[in-house]
Structure 1
Amino acid sequence: MQQNRERAEQLLHSMTIEEKVAQLVSAWLEIQEDGSFSIREYGHKDHRNGNLYQEVLGKGIGQLTRPFGTMANDPHKQAKAINKLQHYLVTETRLKIPAMLHEECLTGAMVKGATIFPSALNYGSTWDPALIGRAASAIGDELRSLGIHQGLAPVLDVARDARWGRLEETFGEDPYLCGVMGIGYVKGLQGAKQSPLATLKHFVGHSFSEGARNHAPVHCGMREIRNTFALPFEMVVRNAHPAAVMPAYHDIDGIPCTSNHSLVTDLLKKQWGFDGLIVADYEAIVQLVNDHQVANDMAEAAALAFNAGMDIELPGFTVFKEGLIEALYRGLVTDEALDQSVLKILQEKLRLGLFENPYIREEAIDLGSEKNHILAREVAEKSLVLLKNDGTLPLKKGLKVALIGALADHPYAMFGGYAPPVHLQGSHGPEETVPVLAKTIKTALQDVLGNEQVLFEPGCMLYESNVERAVFFPGDVQEGQGTQVHELSSDVSRIKLACEASRKADVTVLVVGDLAGLFGQGTVGEGSDAASFTLPGVQEQLMQEVLQTGKPVVVVLVSGRPYTLDKAVTDARAILCTWLPGEGGGEAIARTLVGLNNPSGKTPLSFPKSVGSMPYFYNHTKKAGGLPVQKQFGTLYPFGHGLSYTSFTWSDFQVEQSQITNTGEFKISLQVQNSGTVAGDEVVELYIHDKVASLVRPVKELKAFARVSLKPGEKKKVVFSLPAELFSFIGERMERVLESGSYELFVGKSCDDIVFTNELSILGEDKVLSNSWRCLSSSSIVSLS
């Protein structure tokens, strides 16, 4: 480490101002296979003349933005092209400093041929951080094989409003669950060598925007920010050592997160001790001029972001490249501060071994393996949430099944917004970027039942036309230019055929939900926010008419948000929620429908009764529903809910000591037995309620959970340890305080299905906690039979 610092300092002392600033810049290039490129900039793709290599790379460059994940080119050929740019940097520039490469990676490397894992909602639905760590480790392996140095994940936004298009990128609506899953993801992605760099986003409160609209302001006090939205970030920073953090686009009380010194420097760096890179969200800094209008020009915008704590602009050919230099000349930024950021980036490049190994090893690229596909399917299977079942599922052998729905045989219905088929479909078509091993629900169901047992009719289409070119960053969406929204189909002519198929079959599997697409080009995804919880397009009409056929109907909801599902809640025999389950999703759904997989997911989101109840989340305060409580407030299916094909018996609940001091910990145990006839997994959830506090507190808060795998008849003991500090919160003086007093303990199968209760007490004086407070519970599982 000391050697790296000394070498970085030597480099720094030899650099011009232009060369220093170049290290704080990332260029977003559309790189062709021959190594030529064009520049993607805010609002347009600039068509420049002259030597682009010299103009863009001549002084060096900090990073290259999504060199694989912008074009749907063959990864091996693309690697050769990227190496040409890297060769220029290390042979033709004065200082010979290589560039770091970054890619999106929430559900896998967003690269043609990479494994596509399920959405983050699926991750949260597993309640299994170790499994998600394994998935993230596989993603990290694929990124490393590509020579990628930084991955732009995980998303730690806490879901609050199901209208928000980016809901599918979150782990759910509980901050503790988000934090625990985030820790698992970061440790898995970065590995022991902290490479590739994980990037926490979007710091902070991005998911609580006005009206759940993308980029809209957040109206939230700093205590709520700290207690809810910042908590997952704090948990991950303290327990997983992430290497980067990305501030969000929005403003909080008039201050954009991009330029918020109190959040980025005072809280994140000084209080929490984060010492990694602070990277801008795409085009966020130029938005300080064009959208937030808190800066007169690029120099002021650069100074605002940089002085708040920003290290590098991703992508940044717009502001830092020229604006930061002008800010230095005006005295808006100090030379010392500039040197500190450049030094940090140089040290990171040295730590990653970039100077010794600047090139991608084309022969080492390893994407889309069968091993990773099996893991992706495992995550999908363990994330499926059985919301309702009267015994119709699993499907009995010999039944003829009518498979209906626009998504049942769609080539990329299983994928989230940050997956290659959604981002890269414009230039080559989505089918080219769908993994070879992926199956649609139709194909997978035919595989397990036989072609002759499945009658398929789509019933409708979500869209009749294809997206000609995907829009995938805010700079493509220009105010006043009328960005084209992909129009949903209104054609109901196919519904009759679907109903006929339903009548011919013994049981109907109706697949409904979302197609992801960004900025209005899908029904969910970044910038595709909803105004209604009615199923998109004519799917609601299709569902109602199929339910009226009188045949048993199983609804499969493939979506990035909860929907109210109207008559399905009362009239469908079963409802299986799959979220966006990735390349193994078709197989996972089919195997679950026929009983080869026992559903064990628990929903990380409440299913609201209506859009009028938004924002809604289980951990609300007592007065949140109004007085009298509004009838639309509440849920159809609560947070933590999920059924199984087997049954579980809970017993022998014990609290070792119901009173502890503020330095102690509670020991809570119970026994769980599989009292059914098939193997299954149960999730035990622990919630608390602070009975009397100095500030208004939620009616329930998740503080621990454990996933327990049990064979038929098997019994296991689950033991939880809850440190007293886990009961703390940010108090009136903006300090983390642990208050003495009484707490209700709830142990249950969901936030509403409570099996055991008890009263806990923390004795002694109220206590202000240090920055090293214990924010995690622990659990152990012991087999008893």
Structure 2
Amino acid sequence: MALQDNSEFPVYRRAHMPTDARVADLLARMTIDEKIAQLHAVWLKLSADGQHAWRTEDFAQRDTGVPLDTLLRHGLGQVTRPLGTHTVDPQEGVKALNALQRQMVEETRLGIPVMSHEECLVGLMIKDATLFPSSLNYAATWNPALIGRVGEMIGKQARSIGCHQGLAPVLDVSRDPRWGRTEETFGEDPYLVGVMACSYVKGLQGERRDVLATLKHFVAHSASEGARNHAPVHVGPRELNDIYMLPFEMAVKLAHAGSVMPAYHDIDGVPCHTNRDLLHHVLREKWGFDGLIVADYVAVNLLYTHHGVARDAADAAAQSFNAGLDIELPGHECALHLKEALARGDISEATIDAAVTRVLRAKFDIGLFEHPYVDPDRVDLRSHAALDLAHEVARESAVLLRNDGVLPLAGDRQQKIAVIGPTADDPLALLAGYSFPVHLIVSGEQSASSITTPLQALRHLLGETSVVYEKGCAIIEERRAGAPVFPGDVALDTRDLNARDELISTDTFRIANAAQAAREADVAIVFVGDLSGLFQSGTVGEGSDTDTLALPGVQQALIDAVVATGTPTVVVMTGGRPYNLGGQEDRVAAQIMAFAPGEKGGEALAELLTGRASFSGRLPLSVPTSAGAVPYVYNHRLKSAGTPVARHFGSRYPFGFGLTYTRFAYSDLNLIASEVPIADGTFEFSFGVENVGTRSGDEVVQVYVRDRLASTSRPVKELKALARVTIEPHAKVHLRVRLPVDMLNFTDARGERIVEPGEFDLMIGSSSRDIHLNATLVVKGTATRTLERDWRMVSDVRVTG
């Protein structure tokens, strides 16, 4: 059923016609069954010969008793992860996707092609795709342009396999690192999250927006009760808007994001998937969002199986689509019951038509009707450019937290290096949870043999004879299938809560050998951290939350034993959240936080440790002093520490912190425009940054503001501008900042963003704690200003010389 421009063909099949006309023509031709078919996905194991099979899971897509041919004869909105559902050669996967597409285009009455979506947070989550670092690494670069290139590369790979929608990025603002999905976030500051998200979205979607980015999880998923997955959220409307909704607003308005995914939890008792105020009034009406709202996997089903707000699948579907949902993912358990809901009067056909209209518009806009098939010979997943880019992000994101001079490792004389620890030679320890090899653990498969580990990379750079290795301990002795605790696996009967096998190793028998290796070395490098894994198949990741910031298992005992030898000890921490070192922070010679640096992380870390590259990452989230200090974030309100100040409150390594192999000095603050009108003013100031060290380095300049007097309690400081600059030894650069007055806004009792006149503290520094320049900014006006919809959301920082 090829598309034509000939007037003899229906309007919707004429490529030159306006999208609205094509949508209206096609919608008018559709039966109710064909409409409903566009509002859900199907999770299949596709086959190039057309013999597709169900992918069924108790937690996701159960057998509904509907034969596959019967389900597909009316068409289909989306197919779920065609190449990521199981291990398949990418070219064969594309052929299988083409087979399904051919069935939709050539064998259904109207020939509506199907959209394909894949996970793509850290690269496409399919076999052979580039394994990029985690979102925490993205944010730790403080380099939005670099992350824009990552999004662009992932988008290019997505197009090559026929993927039309990527389920990324995650815009949840991290406020409690015990939450397992902290690794998926861009950190704890809403402005940094928003800036990074906009760059990623623009890169992924491209100018044509022919691959849709999906903003998730809308909204405040990271603020869950006790940092537990799916748990309720307790935040007021001001905090909800100022902290958690800001990045979504930025990505919708500035990056034109094509899709949004609601979150699993409820806010004040209202599940996000039924929250019309959020999905329709705020997202569509207030912000002008014009894309697709797609369900998180099984979330519609959970409305009646978990939340208890719907009586059955039909009611759950009606509530979600009435709230503003467009597509149920990953399957069809509830959407198939929309006819029943329609007969009951729980939903109108006009509401169904509105959702179908948005789905069809998206399919026309991305060019799917004109180009439904993909060339298997043009699959492009592991180019040199992609691997180099992953390497660059890994290098720029590692954060040096402490260094007494032991780093970089001496290059002018031979040193004996003891490499120790459970993550030193484990390729999976370099990967975030939404990478394909980590997801394979659930099914018992492993595929990470091509990744160079830190041990291998150090041996390559320093020589086999210079490096001795002792594992010391394990985090998990064996990664295996059957470990996850999926939603619904645990019954309400509390006797079941401790039924899971404990995966974390408690064996200490290897620690003595590790200590002896350290004792005989010039420097010991201890690699520790955690292992990403879904639903407690690991120690961090989705559904793998924690109640402590102590290192999992016996890793602290390993560090204690190595430090006790007196050999200078470097601790390299990888993983999805920051951990404490049990009081050894002041005794180790150096400490590095590398997060999950991806498949090139081992090589990047070896280059940084040996001085072949320079550390330049900065923390995108604070490292609380203990779990008892949680929640701790840099932009807290003054009374957050209690009265008197709680001794455990605070962070040894604050937001924005990171050392380099050189030093920088700030000077020459010049206030060009420090008093501006409240209506449309822009603050403008300049200052200098000098490299006073002996080697080239990157400084991350950070600009913070504090509202001295406001109608509501305000944070002690908030990030308002940032810039990453490379400065040669003894050189000095000048930076000029333009900061719109709009960015000094906060939310009032009406839910509107306002700016009040008054004085603000300006703080310029190298971290949220290390402030080097101070001044006062003044907003001139006689009345509070309510911001318009398209308010100025970003500042501008430029190097002027």
Matches within 5 A, 1:102-501: 102-322=117-337, 324-397=338-411, 398-427=414-443, 429-430=445-446, 432=447, 434=448, 436=450, 438-469=451-482, 471=484, 474=487, 484=500, 487-501=503-517
By how many angstroms is 1:381 displaced? 0.6
Measure the CA separation in 2 of the matches of 1:218 and 1:65: 28
- 1:91 counterpart = 2:109: no
Residue of structure 2 aligned with 1:739, choices 756, 759, 776: 756
Measure the CA separation in 2 of the matches of 1:707 and 1:364: 36
Measure the CA separation in 2 of the matches of 1:772 and 1:477: 46
Measure the CA separation in 2 of the matches of 1:375 and 1:442: 22
Name 1:718's counterpart in structure 2: 735
By how many angstroms is 1:49 displaced? 7.7
Q: In 1, are the aligned partners of 2:45 and 2:54 still within 8 Å (CA)?
A: yes
Q: Which amino acid aligns with 2:513?
A: L
Q: Which amino acid aligns with 2:331?
A: G
User: Residue 656 of structure 1: SS of its match in structure 2?
Assistant: strand
**For residues 691-749 of structure 1, what are the alpha-carbon distances to aligned partners after superposition, in whole Å with 9 as ceiling and x for unaligned?**
00001100010000111111222221111100111101111222211100011111111
Measure the CA separation in 2 of the matches of 1:47 and 1:283: 14
Name 2:593's counterpart in structure 1: 577
User: Residue 286 of structure 1: SS of its match in structure 2?
Assistant: helix
Measure the CA separation in 1 of the matches of 2:700 and 2:130: 28
Name 2:665's counterpart in structure 1: 649
Measure the CA separation in 1 of the matches of 2:427 and 2:751: 50
Matches within 5 A, 1:488-567: 488-567=504-583
Name 1:36's counterpart in structure 2: 52
By how many angstroms is 1:782 displaced? 2.5
Identify if the C-alpha distance between structure 1 residues 44 and 708 changes in structure 2 by more than 3 Å, giving closer, same or farther. Answer: closer
By how many angstroms is 1:117 displaced? 0.8
User: Residue 285 of structure 1: SS of its match in structure 2?
Assistant: helix
Q: In 2, are the aligned partners of 1:41 and 1:318 still within 8 Å (CA)?
A: no
By how many angstroms is 1:507 displaced? 0.2
Name 2:718's counterpart in structure 1: 701
**For residues 90-146 of structure 1, what are the alpha-carbon distances to aligned partners after superposition, in whole Å with 9 as ceiling and x for unaligned?**
222222211100011110000110001110101111111000000111111111111
Q: Which amino acid aligns with 2:709?
A: V
Q: Which amino acid aligns with 1:501?
A: A
By how many angstroms is 1:758 displaced? 0.8
By how many angstroms is 1:184 displaced? 0.5
User: Residue 159 of structure 1: SS of its match in structure 2?
Assistant: coil
Q: In 1, are the aligned partners of 2:122 and 2:134 still within 8 Å (CA)?
A: yes
Measure the CA separation in 1 of the matches of 2:329 and 2:81: 10
By how many angstroms is 1:588 displaced? 0.8
Q: In 2, are the aligned partners of 1:592 and 1:598 still within 8 Å (CA)?
A: yes
User: Residue 720 of structure 2: SS of its match in structure 1?
Assistant: strand
- Identity, in percent, stands at 49
- 1:770 counterpart = 2:788: yes
Deviates more, 1:544-553 or 1:70-79: 70-79
Identify if the C-alpha distance between structure 1 residues 782 and 493 changes in structure 2 by more than 3 Å, giving closer, same or farther. Answer: same
Measure the CA separation in 2 of the matches of 1:102 and 1:488: 34
Q: Which amino acid aligns with 1:589?
A: L
Q: In 2, are the aligned partners of 1:132 and 1:184 still within 8 Å (CA)?
A: yes
Matches within 5 A, 1:16-35: 16-32=31-47, 34=49, 35=51
Q: In 1, are the aligned partners of 2:60 and 2:330 still within 8 Å (CA)?
A: no
Measure the CA separation in 2 of the matches of 1:584 and 1:395: 20
Q: In 1, are the aligned partners of 2:433 and 2:532 still within 8 Å (CA)?
A: yes
What is the RMSD computed on CA atoms of the aligned residues? 1.7
By how many angstroms is 1:455 displaced? 0.3
Measure the CA separation in 2 of the matches of 1:255 and 1:129: 34
Q: In 1, are the aligned partners of 2:170 and 2:216 still within 8 Å (CA)?
A: yes
Q: In 2, are the aligned partners of 1:69 and 1:424 still within 8 Å (CA)?
A: no
**For residues 208-231 of structure 1, what are the alpha-carbon distances to aligned partners after superposition, in whole Å with 9 as ceiling and x for unaligned?**
000000000000111110011001
Q: In 1, are the aligned partners of 2:59 and 2:488 still within 8 Å (CA)?
A: yes
Measure the CA separation in 2 of the matches of 1:50 and 1:20: 17
Q: Which runs of 5+ in 2 are unaligned?
A: 1-15
By how many angstroms is 1:611 displaced? 0.3
Measure the CA separation in 1 of the matches of 2:492 and 2:87: 28
- 1:753 counterpart = 2:770: yes
Q: Which runs of 5+ in 1 are unaligned?
A: none
By how many angstroms is 1:51 displaced? 4.8
Q: Which amino acid aligns with 1:622?
A: L
- 1:780 counterpart = 2:774: no
Measure the CA separation in 2 of the matches of 1:466 and 1:260: 39
Q: In 2, are the aligned partners of 1:104 and 1:110 still within 8 Å (CA)?
A: yes
Deviates more, 1:166-175 or 1:300-309: 300-309
By how many angstroms is 1:566 displaced? 1.6
Name 1:639's counterpart in structure 2: 655
Name 2:27's counterpart in structure 1: 12
Identify if the C-alpha distance between structure 1 residues 698 and 44 changes in structure 2 by more than 3 Å, giving closer, same or farther. Answer: closer
Measure the CA separation in 2 of the matches of 1:735 and 1:5: 32
Measure the CA separation in 2 of the matches of 1:642 and 1:508: 22
User: Residue 89 of structure 1: SS of its match in structure 2?
Assistant: helix
Q: In 2, are the aligned partners of 1:486 and 1:520 still within 8 Å (CA)?
A: no
Q: Which amino acid aligns with 2:796?
A: S
